[in-house]
Amino acid sequence: MNRKGSTRVLFKTIRDITHTFTPRIGIVMNKQGKDLSEEVEVKARWKEYTEDLYRFNATISEKVLARDFTREPSISESEVIRAMKEVANGSAPGIDNIPNRAVERGNEAIVMITKIFNRIWDTAEWPRQWKQSIYIPIPKRGSTCI
């Protein structure tokens, strides 16, 4: 292959013959940059990281709620239908395990969702279950410093 001028094929063949699989292990680091290897430490760091994210969002929410807003009109069914169409089809279901396409199928579901959204809008109280999140860390190549 080298004599024929096909160096790309030559190097690919060499790589295929000599290459052995070596799995990469992502390392989670604490805030000071120290590698964490124990499962308990890694879980504690992920917990700390997500709590910091929510703490940041909570301070924003408190500032927004402190403002005096004028009453907005209720959410209409057409707004819910439009929002449902904008949701990515095939996205993973939430903690309730109900896929998006199950909700889009019927008018009764839209009516119920509209009622739920309007109750949330009127009371400014999110359902407790909607505040729960499932995090599945997907390691990427390189350093996973969080």
- pLDDT one-digit tens code per residue, 74-126: 899 888 888 877 776 666 777 777 777 766 666 888 888 899 999 988 887 88
Overall pTM > 0.75: no
Q: pLDDT (tens digit, 9 = 90+) per residue, 13-42? A: 888 888 776 655 667 888 888 888 788 888
Smallest CA-to-CA distance from 74 within 114, 106, 125 is with 114
Look at residue 124 in the predicted model and tell me its pLDDT.
79
Position 63, amino acid: K
> What sign for the dihedral angle of Cα 93, 98, 102, 103?
negative
Contact 75, 118 (CB under 8 A): yes
Q: What is the 3-state secondary structure (H, E, C) of the chain?
A: CCCCCCHHHHHHHHHHHHCCCCCCCCCEECCCCCEECCHHHHHHHHHHHHHHHHHHHHHHHHHHHHCCCCCCCCCCHHHHHHHHHHCCCCCCCCCCCCCHHHHHCCHHHHHHHHHHHHHHHHHCCCCHHHHCCCCCCCCCCCCEEC
Q: pLDDT (tens digit, 9 = 90+) per residue, 44-66? A: 888 888 888 777 656 666 666 66
Smallest CA-to-CA distance from 24 within 140, 137, 115, 104 is with 140
